Amino acid sequence: MLLVTGGAGFIGSNVVAALNGAGRSDVVVCDLLGRDGKWRNLAKRQLVDIVPPAELPDWLKGRKLDAVIHLGAISETTATDGDLVIETNFRFSMRLLDWCTANAVPLIYASSAATYGDGAEGFDDDASLPALKKLRPMNLYGWSKQLFDLAVAGRAANGDPLPPQWAGLKFFNVFGPNEYHKGTMMSVLARRFDDVKAGRVVQLFKSHRDGIADGDQRRDFIYVDDVVRVILWLLATPAVSGLFNVGTGKARSFRDLMLAAYAALGTRPNIDYVDMPEQIRGSYQYFTESKVDRLHRAGYNGGFTTLEDAVKAYVADYLDRPDRFR
């Protein structure tokens, strides 16, 4: 069996869909479904079980698994409950790491580009302890992911026991189907698509930095299908371990993202720019762009979808349909 934590979430449910599509029905999801309709992300899937996180330690006793894909986390960059975030994102991950190590089970886990903070130290996925210790995440979520990266890297540096395969994935700005339960953490495209479709004005942030135009704040936007391909490649390539950026390697602006949506619908852009809230101006990232050299050197050659093609596929196959779920 394969265990996917966070399997009812955004990236996790897309991974489960891909596993089912590849003929694997022996998939177990560890997640909480809650009351926000997250179950719809799994409504078309075949599963062995859905295990609440609190029950996972008992469920794992005596189990044999092919791999653990650990994507479950509190992913809100605005989260403020430090104890809850550390228990969920760090300590739970450490227990899974120990279990995978003791039982010789590969572990593929979600890190985050949030570990890079404001980008002052660059976006190089160097897994050495000196490099990781230079990073300064700007929020609680990013720090919790950084703590786990440091723990895994420390064991690797010391020659301590680790799973037979371990891979941490620093996801950049992922967008695509099944993100709808994420509220304000949804991509701007998903949040604003109904406005785009209806011809209503779409608001983007003004720039509060010299030399950067309104709406020209840039991110490394990556389509969720590309992320899933990387994860499936790692599952099929057990000799590869390490910490890897997962982005396209090319930063694009929020304006580009929304213009691609208008182009996908064949409608005239209607974009306005509003002041960024003062409470986030000091911590707002104006630029993120992954370096994906290490992933390529490890042997990955699956490529990445261009922003325009990704938006076109997302709009045509999901956002502009009555059923938006994969």
Q: Which amino acids are annotated catalytic?
A: 141, 182
Q: What is the rounded CA–CA span in Å between residue 250 and residue 266? A: 25
Sign of CA pseudo-dihedral 32, 38, 43, 46:
negative
212 is in an annotated binding site: no
219 is in an annotated binding site: yes
Cα-Cα-Cα-Cα dihedral of 242, 115, 32, 189, to 10°? -110
Q: What is the rounded CA–CA span in Å between residue 182 and residue 21? A: 24
153 is in an annotated binding site: no
- Those residues with Cβ within 8 angstroms of residue 97's Cβ, 6 or more apart along the chain or in another chain: 107, 148, 151, 152, 162, 163, 166
128 is in an annotated binding site: no
CA distances 225 to 45, 60, 117, 277, Å, are 17, 29, 25, 32
184 is in an annotated binding site: yes
DSSP label of 192: H
73 is in an annotated binding site: yes
200 is in an annotated binding site: no
Residue of 205, 233, 220, 253 lying closest to 302 (CA atoms)? 233
71 is in an annotated binding site: yes
Residue of 72, 67, 76, 73 lying closest to 30 (CA atoms)? 72
72 is in an annotated binding site: yes
174 is in an annotated binding site: yes
Cα-Cα-Cα-Cα dihedral of 254, 263, 183, 216, to 10°? 10
318 is in an annotated binding site: no
38 is in an annotated binding site: yes
Which residues are annotated as part of the binding site for NADP(+)? 10-11, 31-32, 38, 71-75, 145, 174, 182
Which residues are annotated as part of the binding site? 10-11, 31-32, 38, 71-75, 145, 173-174, 182, 184, 205-208, 219, 284
Which residues are annotated as part of the binding site for substrate? 173, 184, 205-208, 219, 284
